[in-house]
Amino acid sequence: MIRSADVRTDSEVRSWEARLNRERPQRREVAAWITSRISAASADSPLVVELACGAGFLAEVLKGQLSGLRHCGFDLSPHLLDFALRRLDGSAGEEGNFCTMHFRCANLVSDDWTAPLVEMGWAGKVDAVVSIQALHDLGDLEQQKHVLEQARSTLRDGGILAYGDLLYDAKNPHSSRYSVEEHEAMLHSCGFSVPDTSLTDCDRQDSDSNGFAVARYGEFGTFACCK
């Protein structure tokens, strides 16, 4: 089984992403859910930052659905980013809309990855920060929280964080996968609007008046909340 850190060639990138999609077909529903949260919260031409974007799986879905998307994806792997750039740059969105796709190499945990956003004039103006199947790869709760605090600082007032990640599974324990309750507590401690009453009893939940939403798709928990 090839790991993201070992992927080099286009053929390795394709088989790596194909395996992610084969093992967890709910990734497509999760990507659609994240896209729908941005559509509900933003006007046309949203500014979207993606954490640990890999080869551009979610970026491709966003580009197909969000008119005039302006996207900046960050990842540790230059090979995945190079593939994502060639996959997505320069082609029109699904309805011929012009989209702008940027990709930047960074270690989200140890680098000041928000600096390029300052240079691009995006700091404090971002409509949505998104991520799929990646937060648990960033490390423990403190490390994830550190990245989400930085993410929050890039958002405009009322901007949203929307992500899906693998939840803790007692049958297949993983040191940095967490329960819905732990995600909610982390989001709250980062300063996002999270309701006092937990929504975790609901399998699928439309957003409340603060834009908070949580849903489950197989092993995935999806979360959306406002700055």
Ligand X SMILES: C[S@@+](CC[C@H](N)C(=O)[O-])C[C@H]1O[C@@H](n2cnc3c(N)ncnc32)[C@H](O)[C@@H]1O
Q: Which of 54, 93, 159, 221 binds ligand X (CB under 6 A)?
A: 54
The two tokens of residue 209 are: 């008046």
CB 62 within 8 A of CB 38: yes
- Cβ-based nearer residue to ligand X, 100 or 107: 107
Distance CA 196, CA 188 (A): 9
- Compute how many other C-beta atoms are within 10 angstroms of the C-beta atom of residue 210: 12
Site string for ligand X, 144-183 (x = CB under 6 A): ----------------------------------------
Size of the site for ligand X (CB under 6 A): 20
Name the one range near ligand X by CB under 6 A: 34-42, 76-84, 90-98, 204-212. Answer: 76-84
**Interface with ligand X, residue 13, by CB under 6 A:** no
- Cβ-based nearer residue to ligand X, 125 or 174: 174
C-beta of 54: minimal distance to ligand X in Å? Answer: 3
**Interface with ligand X, residue 57, by CB under 6 A:** yes
Please give the residue ranges that form the binding site for ligand X (CB under 6 A).
4, 17, 20, 52-54, 57-58, 75-77, 80, 107-109, 132-134, 137-138
